[in-house]
Amino acid sequence: MSCTVPVLPLPGGAPADEADHAPSALVEVLRIQAESRAEQEDEVIEEVPVALSYNGISHAVMLATPTDLEDFALGFSISEGVVENMEEIHDLEVQPGCAGIVIEMQIAQPRFLALKERRRSLAGRTGCGLCGVESLTYAIRPLPEGRLASAASVSVSAIDEAVRQLAHWQPLRQQTGASHAAAWVDGEGRIRMVREDAGRHNALDKLAGAMFRSRHEAGAGFVLVSSRASYEMVQKVVALGAGALVAVSAPTALAIRTAEAAGILLVGFARPGQMVAYCHAERLTGEMPLAGQARRGMM
């Protein structure tokens, strides 16, 4: 299901043909049940190496699902502090190849010089944002300057509605059962934009990139993720300018401390009819809808 917010193009023209790297693949499997075995085709999610290159120098290699890669590159670049905004990316080109995909970006020279000072190489695990960090100094980064979390309240019923609807906005999950999603939800509980990936960090970077490109105001709603809430997920939400992060699973202790310091309302274990608020719970309003009273048709 596509997003409902228009997205502005980045410099560099049209995105590469994603048919070169499909988001899923068909494989032969042996399905075993209590009294039967059957050879079948099954659809599984794809991962490919995606290299992010700035001004001709490779900075990071991530394993990602090959969809919405311009969004991914922009979201990663801003949430990781490589650039401050999309205007500092002067050109972006997605280049598919046999071994993977290279995303070539030309960034403002002051940003490139700063990047070289803290250059790192990320490689390997699915959406692991801290893999390969050369110094512990960069593992726990200061909160982004100049980005204050919105102090807007969020209604319990809006969170509950979005949680109930999220699966319907995940076509890749419906096909493969293996994708994470990151969604932007407005104050009424309507899901406005979703991005999917095999990696939870990647899905959030894709969402952030799409929101930056659409010039969408991040303070009037919340981010919903289909995963746990790690420290780095909170950092990315802060960079996005959102004021609340809702996760269907648990947060880490470091994520809670970071959210507390950043003014982020952090909610975990968000399931139909239940949730747990970990910090800034005073911004939650209203009561949980009774069974059978959840709103319908909000999409």
Higher-pLDDT residue of 273 and 128 is 273
Residue 175 pLDDT level (bands cut at 50, 70, 90) = very high
Q: Give the Cα separation of 59 and 107 in Å (integer).
A: 13
pLDDT at position 217? 82
Do the beta carbons of residue 114 and residue 59 sit within 8 Å? no
Q: Give the Cα separation of 250 and 110 in Å (integer).
A: 39
pLDDT digits (tens, 9 = 90+) for 230-266: 999 999 999 999 999 999 999 999 999 999 999 999 9
Q: Which two tokens stand for residue 186?
A: 């407005």
Residue 219 pLDDT level (bands cut at 50, 70, 90) = confident
Taking alpha carbons only, the member of 258, 271, 236 closest to residue 156 is: 271
Task: Look up tokens 């890669």; give the residue.
Answer: 69
Taking alpha carbons only, the member of 205, 158, 159, 215 closest to residue 182 is: 205
Distances in whole angstroms, Cα of residue 244 to Cα of each of 100, 124, 209: 34, 30, 18
Distances in whole angstroms, Cα of residue 273 to Cα of each of 148, 230, 248, 292: 30, 23, 12, 10
Q: Classify residue 136 by burial, with Cβ atoms within 10 Å: 0-12, 13-18, 19+.
A: exposed
Do the beta carbons of residue 284 and residue 277 sit within 8 Å? yes
pLDDT digits (tens, 9 = 90+) for 278-297: 999 999 999 988 765 554 44
Percent of the chain with pLDDT over 70: 80
pLDDT digits (tens, 9 = 90+) for 118-163: 765 444 444 555 554 544 555 566 666 655 566 789 999 999 999 9
- pTM score: 0.84
Task: State yes or no: is 128 an active-site residue.
Answer: yes
Give the dihedral of Cα atoms 38, 41, 44, 46; nearest 10 deg: 140
Q: Which two tokens stand for residue 98?
A: 């046999």
| pLDDT mean across residues, the chain | 86
Radius of gyration of the chain (CA): 19
Q: Which residues pair with 24 in a beta bridge?
A: 45
What does 33-53 look like in DSSP terms, one character per residue? ETTEEEEEEEEEE--EEEEEE
Of these ranges, 7-11, 125-129, 132-136, 207-211, the one predicted with the greatest mean pLDDT is: 207-211
Do the beta carbons of residue 98 and residue 121 sit within 8 Å? no
Reduce the DSSP state of residue 60 to 3 states and report it.
Answer: strand
pLDDT at position 15? 46
Mean pLDDT of 88-114: 95
Q: Give the Cα separation of 225 and 192 in Å (integer).
A: 13
Domains of the chain, first to last? 48-139 (3.10.20.10), 154-285 (3.40.140.10)
Task: Look up tokens 């020279």; give the residue.
Answer: 109
* C-beta atoms surrounding 140 within 10 Å: 13
Mean pLDDT of 209-228: 92
Q: Which residues pair with 246 in a beta bridge?
A: 224, 267
Out of 98, 128, 131, 279, the active site residue is: 128
Q: Give the Cα separation of 227 and 251 in Å (integer).
A: 9
Contacting residues for 298 by C-beta, under 8 A, at least 6 apart: 161, 165, 188, 189, 190, 191
